Amino acid sequence: MRMHNPPHPGEIVKALCLEPLGLTVTQAAEALGVSRKTLSAILNGRASVSPEMAVRLSVAFGTSSESWLNQQTQYDLWHAEQRRRRLRVTKLASA
């Protein structure tokens, strides 16, 4: 069952990883080996968690990379479903 309006994974990183550890965006970006701008974009929902970022997050926070990608997929799919009626797709069926 799909979640109703799942949070962006960046919100999870901020609330469950950075804040409890008292990390700033700059500190976390340095630990992840990415720029502050890159991490900030993810934290603010302006960028997606890529497979590489998922691996970085899993190493840094002792989580699984799959969980980060699953969160991103759930977020993306929910938003795509919200646009379903605006898609111009013809249903195809076999004869």
Measuring CA to CA, how many Å separate 52 from each of 3, 40, 73, 77? 25, 16, 15, 20
Helix axes 51-61, 25-32, angle to 10 degrees: 100
All residues at 6 or more sequence positions from 66 whose CB lies less than 8 Å from its CB, including other chains: 54
Distance CA 94, CA 68 (A): 37
22 within a domain of the structure (yes/no): yes
Note down the domain range covering 68: 9-84
Q: What share of the chain is helix, strand, coil (3-state, %, to 5)?
A: 65, 0, 35
The structural domain count of the chain equals: 1
Predicted pLDDT at 43: 98
Give the tens place of pLDDT for each residue, 14-52: 999 999 999 999 999 999 999 999 999 999 999 999 999
94 within a domain of the structure (yes/no): no
Predicted pLDDT at 94: 87
91 within a domain of the structure (yes/no): no
Here the CATH number for the domain that contains residue 43 is 1.10.260.40
